[in-house]
Amino acid sequence: MARYRGPKQKVARRFREPIFGPSSALERKPYGPGQHGRSRYSRKSEYAIQLDEKQKAKYTYGLLEKQFRNLYEKANRQEGVTGEVLLQLLESRLDNVVFRMGFARTRRQARQLVSHKHIVVNGQVVNIPSYHVKSGDVITVRPKSRDLELINETLQSYSTSKYKWLETDKKTKTGKFLNEPVMEEIPENINVQLIIELYSK
């Protein structure tokens, strides 16, 4: 299955949340798409609710089903609470870190910056969006790419104190991954317990 490249706001309306950022479409139509989107009586089974939560997490972080399943299995093997470890693995993906540091407006843009070799990790160019960033890693924009309009415009409106587990220097376009975030610090509205229950069946 290829990565989803359809209308983003249709997905946001499906989950009734702006999972791709501020959405004027969701504000105008705060209900699901399709002829049954306005229905007040769409009762869902327990399985459907769990599946929706997993799909929401996948779309939010831009992963395919196999990638997401592999991350869950990796989280399940590690010590600690599986749900929190899963979120930490998602947050420590390089494309997500680049997005969180303010170098891109969306994760999709961040993935493109990484794939096109605009990002350097600890002095080495890394073009793998799923690369796992570790505590203490320094992420910078490649010197040849520091004049990119996209990066400069995004950094102008970025608050450097937005995320406690990251450090960003706008002038040098450098960031540091201080540590893995705890669950309470992650702003995404994802109920990981439902995902764990789904995969545990």
Q: What are the structural domain ranges in the chain?
A: 8-89+191-199, 93-179
Please state the φ and ψ torsions of residue 94, each to the nearest 5 degrees: -60, -40
CB 155 within 8 A of CB 174: no
d(CA 23, CA 191): 21
Contact 94, 126 (CB under 8 A): yes
> For every one of its 201 residues, what pLDDT tens digit does the chain have, with 9 covering 90 and above?
456 666 666 666 665 665 665 555 555 555 555 544 555 556 778 998 899 999 999 989 989 999 999 999 999 999 999 999 999 999 999 999 999 999 999 899 999 999 999 999 999 999 999 999 999 999 999 999 999 999 999 998 888 778 999 999 999 999 999 999 999 999 988 999 999 999 987
* Single pTM value for the model: 0.83
Secondary-structure class of domain 93-179 per CATH:
alpha beta
CATH fit for domain 8-89+191-199, picks 3.40.1710.10, 2.60.40.1170, 1.10.1050.10, 3.30.710.10: 1.10.1050.10
